[in-house]
Amino acid sequence: MGYYVKVEPDVKIYVEDVNPGGDKTILFVHGWPLNHNQYEYQFNVLPGKGYRCIGMDLRGFGKSDKPWHGYCLDRMADDVRGVVEALQLKNFTLAGHSYGGAASIRYMARHAGYGVSRLALFGAAAPSVTQRPNFPYGQPKENVTALIENSLNDRPNMLRGLKDIFFFQNVSTALGDWFFDLGLVAAGHSTAKVAQSFRDEELFSDLGKIHVPTLILHGIHDKICYPELAVAQKEGIPDAKLVWFEFSGHALFYEERDKFNSELMKFIEH
């Protein structure tokens, strides 16, 4: 079931709601530069286990509106709040990958975890994607600046190159094309502006404001959000559990999908 939620007078967010009758709800927030379809291999399985799986496309991506404005963590968190209120979600698990993980963390801090009983982070882009004086573990800032420039000058080529560092395992040409197509659906300006957001914004002060059980899943071969980010999340979030994925890069939701689904269900059930 797909529908739109208005989060601003001129902005609608697309929501895919699978198994609305499920008794355990997960709201999935996707990573950059994809959309909710990245979770296909979760939506294939979890609804059959009794879960209501909701995927939202962040503004600028997938089927959501693509305005010129609003590509910062505060606005993304407010968009999540708009979806939560429109669907009247309560006692749900908020689950975010990469930039979607950063937006989920900002939601927890900015909106005091409204309605959320558990938080799940997958290769999350927090507390900082880029290196800082007090945090040397991120990407060199010039690497992300190059992504921004490439997004604005030859976005298809940028997406082809991104695939090579997104996955650790070899994937089929067809699956690489699928990944490419997910990224291509986004607007070019949205792709660049969100990259600016994760280059320049940080979430150090947000981590300590999370007061629900938190699951951190992270690939040890992640070349986008380095494993040190997961360690910092574990240290900064009071009630957090970290599970490493030994055969995954940034795409652990696909590369070790059976383990991913199992760990997520186990976390929600206990």
Which residues are part of the catalytic machinery?
98, 222, 250
Beta-bridge partners for 132? 135
CB count in 10 Å sphere of residue 221: 18
Judge residue 74's burial from the number of C-beta atoms within 10 Å of its C-beta, 0-12 exposed, 13-18 middle, 19 or more buried. Answer: middle
Residue recorded with tokens 């208005």:
6
96: three-class secondary structure by DSSP:
strand
| Bond into 67 cis (ω within 30) | no
Q: Provide the H-helix boundaries in the chain.
A: 40-43, 73-87, 99-110, 141-153, 155-166, 173-184, 188-200, 204-207, 227-236, 252-255, 257-269
